[in-house]
Structure 1
């Protein structure tokens, strides 16, 4: 019961900010209070991926310190904010790994996250499009995960597929393309991998080829529907209309996630040690690149530049991987990439082999979301959302590995030889 109270408080209090060294989320005080009590040194030996992720986070902190103090001479306010974010990420992984370790705990976390989004997220919306994207979609995603687990445990796979596809269509109709694609891919993966198909290189190639063809056909239909005002809203139609070839999905990706491509230029300017924590875009060089990718003129327009000049002017980077490189150079990127690599290895294992686990739909949807977050979401997600998702994936992976070892041991008891299991699974 106490653990469920902790989880409920963690989920609800994430909606509130407290001004301490920048801003802390209110739920991070729970992490500060209980992380030292939940940490067990033997976890480093028992769970190798947990150890590797924590060490990679510590490595990131070291590279932040080197860049901020010895290379760019960053301001105390900025480097303290940067270091605090990484430290909170480390503590969150420690606390949540031991907290989100059962099916009941994960379902409780998803439920209270949904409740938080129902009551405490109205302040981040300023239009009909942003209302659906930032208010409705998070609620829809949590509700879909809860419903998917309920239906999956009862074997109602096709009904679950129908619910997920309805959520997908709702997102595409309301300019929430990335969420719609997440639900579409999740439904397709769950359906395919519950068909008892033997996964090997040949079948994987066929799936990728078939999936690419289906994706392109659906994308062409989507573009035609948006341009004829039959689907989507003004945001989607304005984006597609300014593309030279709207039927090229990579052009849409560039205009929709221009911050990621601007980050490449910022990395090229200071590739070895980076720009420092919370680095400023002093002459709006990188903001101008975003405007160019989004169809603006060379200067981006006086009004846009005035708006950009009135805010904090941080170097834009909607990518956790790129953000680590921008902040603390190649070393920081390597540390963030290792975290990404370890989490994705566990995710791929769960997606391919853990269909027997009741939380399988959650692992699929969170795994796709985790991939998107590392590639196309702000660096601060390494502190706020990746620890929870990563710990759910990590606990699911070790649940699967424990179940697999038990099954192997039972087979060995019947006289069949059992191969010794490695500390962690190496994907074939």
Structure 2
């Protein structure tokens, strides 16, 4: 649930709760900082924060916008540290966090419908605004509970989730769950035979998932052209010169990346500052949209920030190169930790990791900064301390 605060920006109820609980977990947080993974991420986060401050000074950013930008980084890192402290003893507490995320998503959807139910934009994207906030953590919980004992319940639920999400506007959410489900199915086939060669199995499984994306993409094009996936999907496919070119279709869906690259080219070291909204880049963006969409292109931008729909590129555009380096490092460590967890973790924890990784990959590349503040901290902390827990357990067993 979002609570507006006029001075800086917006907080979520969960963030306020984290800040209120901080004094009670300070000892665990300080202990968590001894973990090298945590220390490295926090160190790069500090560099990102400093770079954002220098960028704001260089670009003469207003005090309000500077507080919003630097405050967002500060909240991201403090929330990450809180969950590190929470999970340092027992990473399975992440299950309670997922349950809380489900409850918060349901509450947020109910309030949104109560106060904004007549908004046509919400009605056209039912899944994104009313469902995905609680459905994705619910699927992660479901996979944890049933993947070990009843895997055949997980596979049809995952496929149904992906199909229904696509029908009601949640194309990216449906795609990442379908990928997770395919990989869970492949891992289950391997686990029924042997776990000893799982490293090879994971690599071949990733290749298999990549190959299966080809027929899935072809099906997406066919159904989008028919209008079965909604007006937005049909318009994007119709505008594509070659609808069977996945790169072109992706750029039409996430056209903000074009203006992000222009912004980075202008100021590659320090970026444009917090909440940057330069007029010449806005005009350039609208011009490029007219070249793509013609008469249906937007006539103006209502956002008070340059529309960069990417955590990775947004960190570079607004905070400079240090922000980009931070997220590149996070991407690398996420894959490393997920690999370690798949090799050494329990079946249930493995299921959560498999559900999370495609979700992470999509959102860090193609979603706005809200993902970094509200979803990434708890999941990254879970990955770090799950791996640490199972490594510690393995070492204790050898003694």
Once the two structures are TM-superposed, the CA of residue 366 in structure 1 deviates from its matched residue by 1.6
Tell me the equivalent position of 2:128.
133
Is the CA contact 1:357–1:400 (under 8 Å) kept in the aligned structure 2? no
Once the two structures are TM-superposed, the CA of residue 328 in structure 1 deviates from its matched residue by 2.2
1:360 lines up with 2:355 in the alignment: no
Deviation per residue, 1:119-143 (Å, 9 max, x gap):
2232486343312222122222222
Tell me the equivalent position of 1:404.
394
Is the CA contact 1:257–1:318 (under 8 Å) kept in the aligned structure 2? yes
Q: 5 Å matches for 1:29-68?
A: 29-40=16-27, 41-45=30-34, 47-68=35-56
Find 1:174's aligned residue among 158, 168, 171: 168
Count, aligned residues: 383
Is the CA contact 2:271–2:321 (under 8 Å) kept in the aligned structure 1? yes
What's the TM-score, normalizing by structure 2?
0.87
Secondary structure of the residue aligned to 1:23 is strand
Once the two structures are TM-superposed, the CA of residue 367 in structure 1 deviates from its matched residue by 1.9
Find 2:225's aligned residue among 224, 227, 239: 227
| d(CA) in 2 for partners of 1:20, 1:49 | 34
Alignment RMSD (CA, Å): 2.5
Is the CA contact 2:2–2:11 (under 8 Å) kept in the aligned structure 1? no
Once the two structures are TM-superposed, the CA of residue 208 in structure 1 deviates from its matched residue by 4.8
| d(CA) in 1 for partners of 2:377, 2:287 | 31
Deviation per residue, 1:312-368 (Å, 9 max, x gap):
442121111111111122223223322333233212322x31452423222211222
| d(CA) in 1 for partners of 2:352, 2:2 | 22
Which range moved further: 280-289 or 76-85? 280-289
User: Residues 207 and 342 from structure 1, CA distance in 2 versus in 1: closer, same or farther, beyond 3 angstroms?
Assistant: closer
| d(CA) in 2 for partners of 1:25, 1:208 | 35
1:389 lines up with 2:379 in the alignment: yes
What's the TM-score, normalizing by structure 1?
0.82
| d(CA) in 2 for partners of 1:254, 1:89 | 28
User: Residues 371 and 354 from structure 1, CA distance in 2 versus in 1: closer, same or farther, beyond 3 angstroms?
Assistant: farther
User: Residues 193 and 331 from structure 1, CA distance in 2 versus in 1: closer, same or farther, beyond 3 angstroms?
Assistant: same
1:257 lines up with 2:254 in the alignment: yes
Once the two structures are TM-superposed, the CA of residue 240 in structure 1 deviates from its matched residue by 0.8
Give 1 or 2: higher helix fraction. Answer: 2
Secondary structure of the residue aligned to 1:222 is helix
User: Residues 178 and 117 from structure 1, CA distance in 2 versus in 1: closer, same or farther, beyond 3 angstroms?
Assistant: same
Once the two structures are TM-superposed, the CA of residue 100 in structure 1 deviates from its matched residue by 4.2
Find 2:59's aligned residue among 72, 75, 78: 72
Q: Give structure 2 stretches of 5+ with no counterpart.
A: none
Q: Give structure 1 stretches of 5+ with no counterpart.
A: 1-13, 414-428
| d(CA) in 1 for partners of 2:173, 2:54 | 37
Is the CA contact 1:320–1:379 (under 8 Å) kept in the aligned structure 2? yes
Find 2:210's aligned residue among 205, 209, 212: 212
